[in-house]
């Protein structure tokens, strides 16, 4: 019987809470655990045979736009930047019908995330990513964990002593959901046509924000870089690690558009056409910061914000993309 890593991490927190012995926390050997075959079946069922060329499949695009959301369009990848107020939550559906959810917003948005997913026809989540343990990212997880079957969870392994984080780990442990500590260089395989690589962190960092799991998703010629609340330090590490391959069509601006993120050299290397800022109306942090908005607009990057646009939905066939927003 394998021990669930969530339980180990929980134990680490509890030990930490009792001893409070400074900031060096011994990481128990947290290695990737292979997904159980049962968990995998779902994505395999719908997966097309081998990596088929994207060219062969993009013909019927126009008709597909008229299909109802419940019948998955077969060749589109969609990124939903769900308006959860001040916090992050991104739903990704891939051409073969697999689903990835990155963060679940604050606790107050848990129900919204669940109903959003249900409306999008989601019945189970293949991969759930908790970028980092701050409550504006994992607060809504309880609700999500209660309502959906989850294939696997990726977590940065950053130890955070809050009740929200403890509850999240307890639920994962109770439900025995496969739990993986994400490390840069790992890939997330949910669809043979979509490449997802983790670019950060190499290991949990001292700061929770800089421990954020960052990933690059590539579908045909379109790429998205999603960096959680990664700040300057995380961006510098990513640049050092991935160099020019951070380049992406779409950037989710780090840390809700705070000026601690989206630093000039990083933005220059990513060189996006579109930036998404997941931010709440009149949030008390003053996000997004003017400096960041200025850096983006100066480069002619189109900005979408949850506080202004509501839910932001980007759909791509691997060649081009369209953006739909809830509000104008
Ligand atoms: Zn945050
Ligand atoms: Zn954070």
Angle value at C-alpha 317, between 244 and 263, nearest 5 degrees? 30
In this prediction, residue 15 carries a pLDDT of 63
Q: How far is the CA of 58 from the centre of ligand 2 (A)?
A: 38
As a whole number of angstroms, the longest Cα–Cα distance in the chain is 61
Q: Which of 13-22, 76-85, 166-175 shows the lowest mean pLDDT across its residues?
A: 13-22
**Other Cβ atoms closer than 10 A to 156:** 26
Q: How far is the CA of 87 from the centre of ligand 1 (A)?
A: 5
How far apart, in whole angstroms, are the C-alpha atoms of residue 320 and residue 322?
A: 7
Q: How far is the CA of 42 from the centre of ligand 2 (A)?
A: 32
Residue 14 pLDDT class (50, 70, 90 cuts): low
Q: Which of 20-24, 115-119, 162-166, 232-236 shows the lowest mean pLDDT across its residues?
A: 20-24
In this prediction, residue 23 carries a pLDDT of 33
The residue assigned the tokens 């395989």 is: 189
CA distances (Å), origin 100, targets 77, 127, 178: 11, 5, 15
All domains in the chain, ordered by first residue: 5-21+78-325 (3.60.15.10)
In this prediction, residue 42 carries a pLDDT of 39
Can you tell me the mean pLDDT for 287-300?
98
Contact predicate 250/276, CB 8 Å: yes
Q: How far is the CA of 45 from the centre of ligand 1 (A)?
A: 35
Q: What pTM did the predictor assign? A: 0.82
Q: How far is the CA of 59 from the centre of ligand 2 (A)?
A: 41
| Angle subtended by helix axes 5-19 and 163-175, to nearest 10 | 150
In this prediction, residue 55 carries a pLDDT of 42
The yes-or-no verdict on residue 240 having pLDDT over 70 is yes
How far apart, in whole angstroms, are the C-alpha atoms of residue 241 and residue 305?
A: 29
The yes-or-no verdict on residue 12 having pLDDT over 90 is no
Positive/negative CA dihedral, 110, 234, 7, 189:
positive
Q: How far apart are the first and last CA of the chain?
A: 53
Q: How far is the CA of 255 from the centre of ligand 2 (A)?
A: 7
List, for residues 60-102, the tens digit of each pLDDT value: 444 444 444 444 446 999 999 999 999 999 999 999 999 999 9
Q: How far is the CA of 312 from the centre of ligand 2 (A)?
A: 21
Can you tell me the mean pLDDT for 138-158?
98
How far apart, in whole angstroms, are the C-alpha atoms of residue 184 and residue 202?
A: 5
In this prediction, residue 74 carries a pLDDT of 62
Q: State the DSSP code for 81.
A: E
- Dihedral over alpha carbons 39, 43, 46, 50 (to 10 degrees): -130
In this prediction, residue 315 carries a pLDDT of 98
In this prediction, residue 140 carries a pLDDT of 98
List, for residues 98-122, the tens digit of each pLDDT value: 999 999 999 999 999 999 999 999 9
CA neighbor of 281 nearest in space, from 313, 310, 303, 260: 310
In this prediction, residue 248 carries a pLDDT of 98
In this prediction, residue 60 carries a pLDDT of 42
CA neighbor of 313 nearest in space, from 43, 78, 21, 4: 78
Share of the chain above pLDDT 70, in %: 80
The yes-or-no verdict on residue 37 having pLDDT over 60 is no
**Other Cβ atoms closer than 10 A to 39:** 18
Angle value at C-alpha 168, between 183 and 158, nearest 5 degrees? 35
Residue 16 pLDDT class (50, 70, 90 cuts): low
The yes-or-no verdict on residue 58 having pLDDT over 50 is no
Residue 243 pLDDT class (50, 70, 90 cuts): very high
Q: How far is the CA of 70 from the centre of ligand 1 (A)?
A: 30
How far apart, in whole angstroms, are the C-alpha atoms of residue 283 and residue 271?
A: 27
CA 172 remoteness from chain centre = 18
Closest ligand to Cα 208: 2
Q: What is the mean pLDDT of the chain?
A: 86
List of residues 6+ apart from 183 with CB closer than 8 A: 198, 201, 202, 203
Q: How far is the CA of 55 from the centre of ligand 2 (A)?
A: 39
CA neighbor of 231 nearest in space, from 206, 268, 250: 206
């Amino acid at each position: 019987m394998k021990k669930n890593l969530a339980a180990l991490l929980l134990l680490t927190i509890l030990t930490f809470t009792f001893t409070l012995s400074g900031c060096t926390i011994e990481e128990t050997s947290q290695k990737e655990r292979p997904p159980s075959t049962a968990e995998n079946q779902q994505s395999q069922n719908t997966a097309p045979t081998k990596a088929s060329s994207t060219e062969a499949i993009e013909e019927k695009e126009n008709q597909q736009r008229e299909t109802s959301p419940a019948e998955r369009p077969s060749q589109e990848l969609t990124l939903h930047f769900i308006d959860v107020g001040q916090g992050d939550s991104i739903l990704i559906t891939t051409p073969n019908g697999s689903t990835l959810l990155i963060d679940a917003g604050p606790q107050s948005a848990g129900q919204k995330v669940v109903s959003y997913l249900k409306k999008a026809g989601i019945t189970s989540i293949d991969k759930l990513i908790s970028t980092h343990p701050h409550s504006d990212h994992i607060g809504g997880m309880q609700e999500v964990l209660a309502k959906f079957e989850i294939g696997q969870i990726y977590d940065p392994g950053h130890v955070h002593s809050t009740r929200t984080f403890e509850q999240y780990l307890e639920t994962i442990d109770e439900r025995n959901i496969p739990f993986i500590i994400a490390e840069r260089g790992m890939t997330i395989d949910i669809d043979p046509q979509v490449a997802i690589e983790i670019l950060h962190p190499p290991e949990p960092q001292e700061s929770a924000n800089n421990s954020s799991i960052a990933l690059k998703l590539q579908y045909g010629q379109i790429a998205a870089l999603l960096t959680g609340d990664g700040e300057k330090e995380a961006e510098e590490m990513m640049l050092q690690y991935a160099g020019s391959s951070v380049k992406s069509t779409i950037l989710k601006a780090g840390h809700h558009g705070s000026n601690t993120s989206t630093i000039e050299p990083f933005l220059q290397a990513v060189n996006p056409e579109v930036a998404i800022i997941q931010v709440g109306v009149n949030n008390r942090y003053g996000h997004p910061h003017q400096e960041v908005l200025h850096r983006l607009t100066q480069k002619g990057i189109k900005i979408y914000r949850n506080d202004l646009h509501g839910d932001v939905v980007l759909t791509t066939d691997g060649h081009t993309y369209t953006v739909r927003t809830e509000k104008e």
